[in-house]
């Protein structure tokens, strides 16, 4: 098992395409930091106006609002970077784990050796799970690092657009909460990688496996967003519903029971998909 993992790890990070996701995510973080730095004065003026209005105009708000710890929160709540870009990179990598080797014929050569198919799937899953977490964490770390360079440090200040209130979180506490939020989103990406790997075992083309996985996420998100009564019964069981629950780690009063239940659901999706991948791989006849 360890030998199979080492082989898969070497093959995975030997390809230049593996690093494309990191480069693109770095560019995305740079874009957010550039926008925050460019609009810092206007953003601080708007923020202070909202806070002073919520306090009845009896207080004057001073201090720095646009700080380094604000960047990863902006990225996380934008949803697009994690739920679309990171998920797509993870799906493409895991979707090609089996399917690409099946289409090229290298899978048959690999299985001709005295190695169990279960070990092959587990080795590929471990590599892709690590890749999923590393991509997610890289997005947050790059945002914080660039933020410290161009924006500087400071506490996290945030206006709740729905509740109308605001919160000021000390810098170290904000970094700790953001780390938890991104780690939990990394767990979501492990579930995405597991689903893509399962589909990869069933189909013969990596693009098809990645496309099916992304389509599954989009369909799950669409069902979760539509305000239909018949869909409301399904929404508590959707993967995207529990992925969104991890954002509440940054709330003023965190409901850790909700976070724990969401993590269990996401872990259940990952485990089920992994077991499905092993079952399909052990039953599939490799003819290529």
The pLDDT value recorded for residue 203 is 87
Q: What is the token pair recorded at 219? A: 């369909």
Percent of all residues in the chain with a pLDDT value above 70, rounded to a whole number: 83
Is the CA virtual torsion 116, 198, 191, 134 positive or negative? positive
Per-residue confidence band for 50, with pLDDT thresholds at 50, 70 and 90:
low
Q: State pLDDT tens for residues 173-196.
A: 999 999 999 999 999 999 999 999
Q: Of the ranges 50-54, 189-193, 236-240, which one carries the lowest mean pLDDT score?
A: 50-54
> Can you give the length of the chain in residues?
288
Please identify which residue in the block is written with the tokens 């009564």. Answer: 229
Average pLDDT across the chain, whole number: 85
* Segment 6-30 mean pLDDT: 87
- How far apart CA 24 and CA 14 sit, in angstroms, is 18
Residue scoring higher pLDDT (141 or 16): 141
Q: Are 174 and 153 in contact (CB under 8 A)?
A: no
Per-residue confidence band for 288, with pLDDT thresholds at 50, 70 and 90:
very low
- For residue 112, pLDDT over 60 is answered with no
**How many CB atoms within 10 Å of residue 21?**
21
Please identify which residue in the block is written with the tokens 């496309």. Answer: 211
Q: State pLDDT tens for residues 152-166.
A: 988 887 766 445 466
Per-residue confidence band for 115, with pLDDT thresholds at 50, 70 and 90:
low
Q: What is the token pair recorded at 14? A: 């030997």
Phi, then psi, of 112 in degrees rounded to 5:
-70, -20
Q: Are 220 and 235 in contact (CB under 8 A)?
A: no
Q: What is the token pair recorded at 27? A: 């560019």
């Amino acid at each position: 098992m360890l030998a199979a993992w080492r082989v898969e790890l070497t093959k995975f990070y030997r390809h230049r395409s593996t690093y494309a996701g990191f480069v693109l995510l770095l560019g995305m973080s740079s874009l957010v930091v550039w926008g925050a730095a460019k609009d810092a004065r206007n953003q601080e003026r708007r923020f202070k106006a909202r806070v002073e209005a919520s306090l009845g105009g009896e207080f004057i708000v001073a201090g720095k609002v646009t700080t380094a710890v604000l960047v990863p929160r902006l990225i996380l709540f934008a949803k697009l970077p994690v739920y679309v870009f990171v998920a797509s990179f993870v799906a493409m990598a895991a979707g090609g784990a089996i399917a690409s080797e099946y289409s090229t014929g290298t899978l048959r050569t690999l299985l001709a050796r005295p190695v169990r198919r279960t070990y092959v799937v587990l080795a590929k899953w471990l590599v892709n799970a690590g890749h999923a977490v590393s991509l997610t964490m890289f997005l947050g770390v790059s945002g914080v690092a660039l933020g410290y360079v161009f924006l500087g440090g400071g506490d996290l200040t945030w206006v709740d657009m729905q509740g109308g209130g605001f919160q000021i979180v000390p810098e170290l506490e904000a970094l700790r909460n953001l780390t938890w939020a991104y780690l939990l989103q990394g767990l979501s990406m492990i579930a995405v990688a597991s689903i893509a790997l399962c589909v990869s075992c069933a189909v013969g083309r990596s693009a098809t496996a990645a496309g099916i996985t992304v389509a599954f996420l989009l369909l799950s998100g669409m069902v979760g967003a539509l305000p239909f009564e018949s869909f409301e019964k399904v929404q508590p069981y959707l993967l995207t519903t529990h992925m969104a629950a991890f954002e509440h780690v940054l709330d003023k009063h965190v409901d850790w029971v909700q976070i724990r239940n969401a993590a269990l659901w996401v872990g259940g999706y990952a485990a089920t998909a992994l077991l499905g991948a092993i079952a399909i791989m052990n039953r599939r006849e490799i003819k290529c």
